[in-house]
Structure 1
Amino acid sequence: MSRMAYQYVVLRCVPRPDREEFLNVGVVLHCQAADFLDASWHVDADRLRALHAGIDVDQVCEALAFVDRVCRGDERAGEAARQPLGQRFGFLKAPRSTVLQPGPVHGGMSADPARQLEHLRERLVG
């Protein structure tokens, strides 16, 4: 198998932007050569509550489910989900002022983008 270039962003939950604290909760990976865009996430509610006791964990999970829907092209995600994969990734990696924020874009090479996504989620999120 040949290795293909990919890009990814780590999704961060920022419960209180004024404190600039965050917890990694997911990863979005795009590989143009494999026509691949997907997200993988895990929310540790106890760790989030340690950052901010009043955080709405369900809201964080809903935001992450929206990311999943954009990746899959699910019509419930609106206009973003109807775009080509590269534009969907662009939408997901754009800076936001919400509780769920993407980190910087990183890249790499992989023969299996789906396996690489799970590896990154395990390593960077837990």
Structure 2
Amino acid sequence: MSTIICNYAVLRFQPYPETGEFANLGIVMLCNDGQFLQRCETRQRQRITHFFDKLPTEVFTRARREFLEELRRVVKLANAHAEDATMQRRMFQHLVAPRETMFRFSQPGTVATEDPRQALEELFMRYVHHDFSQHENLETRMTSRVAQWLRGFTDRQYNEITLGNDLLQVRFPLVWQVAGRPRQAVKPISFDLEETSRIIEKGDKWLMRMKRLEASGQAPLDTVFVSHEPSETQGPRRRAYQEVTRELTENGLLRIVPDALGKHGVTQAIAAKPTTMH
């Protein structure tokens, strides 16, 4: 199956803009194969009305019904023009554009997938039902996917290896060795974390690990992080990610490749750097 690139945004209910509080209600997704998808919560009324306890129940129920009717109309129209990518893109951009209403969308994010409907379900469970077990397992799924992609290389083989010395041991899931020495390590990693502090802390942890590996002479010649970025294209989480990636890459300790590039883009980037041994 080919990799499909999808843009998505999270539907939020924010009745009181001045407080900044909101509840996630659904996901809308536009894919480069012409699929325009949506999934929204239609049943759990009490979860919302308990959170916004001063909001009359009938106000939320009526507003949600009317908004979802309009959303379904837009999605149906977009899918009727699946061959017109420009029109679909304009409809998506208009739909998720910032506006001062009770229903609004997050900044768009991007995901690479072979199954858009499965990706839609995973995003819905993460953002709407707060299924954090899916988030915690994201790197496991990423590693499995990248490992499958790397099997396409005929000149190398990747295995899980622990690198380091008696003071520091760092496990890499995908390491290519030549004559017992690590030539290239590939680490799928997610920085799509809920809090900016967790993004910074995760980056700092790996920065120190890589510096110590380098100082001990145990670092691979080339290290590649296949990175799952924060979903927002701007804002604090994006700035935290940009700071982390700058610090990780500026001294040449490693390279970062976005997983949104898909199979071809990721494997091409991994293979691009010469990897002759010292």
TM-score band by shorter chain is: 0.7 to 0.9
Q: Distance in 2 between matches of 1:6 and 1:93?
A: 14
Highest Rg: 1 or 2?
2
CA deviation after TM superposition for structure 1 residue 26, in Å: 0.8
Distance 2:62 2:122 in 1: 25
Give, in angstroms, the shift of residue 64 of structure 1: 2.1
Contact 1:10 1:28 in 2 (8 A): yes
1:15 matched residue in structure 2: 15
For structure 1, the residue ranges without an aligned partner over 5 or more in a row are 75-82
How many angstroms apart in 1 are the aligned matches of 2:118 and 2:76? 17
Deviation by residue 1:59-118 (Cα, 9 ceiling, x = unmatched): 1232122112101108xxxxxxxx821111111110111110000111110111122112
Question: Quick one: distance in 2 between partners of 1:65 and 1:121?
Answer: 19
Which amino acid is 1:54 matched to?
P
State how far apart, in whole Å, the 1-side matches of 2:121 and 2:72 are: 14
Question: CA deviation digits over 1:8-43, x for unaligned, max 9?
Answer: 0000000111211100001001112x1011110004
Q: Which runs of at least 4 in structure 1 moved beyond 3 Å after TM superposition?
A: none
For these two proteins, the number of residue pairs brought into alignment is: 117
Secondary structure of residue in 1 paired with 2:100: coil
Q: Which runs of 5+ in 2 are unaligned?
A: 79-85, 130-278
Partner of 2:74: 70
1:25 is paired with a residue whose SS is strand
Q: TM-score, normalised by structure 1?
A: 0.84
Q: Which residue of 1 aligns with 2:36?
A: 37
Aligned to 1:124: 127
**3-state DSSP class of the match of 2:18?**
helix
Q: Tell me, yes or no, if the aligned pair for 1:71 and 1:85 is still in contact at 8 Å.
A: no
Q: How far apart, in 2, do the equivalents of 1:17 and 1:35 lie?
A: 34
Match of 1:80 in 2: none
**Correspondence 1:1-126 to 2 at 5 A:** 1-32=1-32, 34-43=33-42, 44-50=44-50, 51=52, 52-55=54-57, 56=59, 57-73=61-77, 84-126=87-129
For residue 47 of structure 1, report the CA deviation from its aligned partner.
2.1
Shift of 1:7: 0.8
What letter matches 2:35 in structure 1? F
Whose RCO is larger (CA < 8 A, sep 6+)? 1
- Matches of 2:88 and 2:70, distance apart in 1: 15
- Aligned counterparts of 1:47 and 1:53: Cα–Cα separation in 2: 12
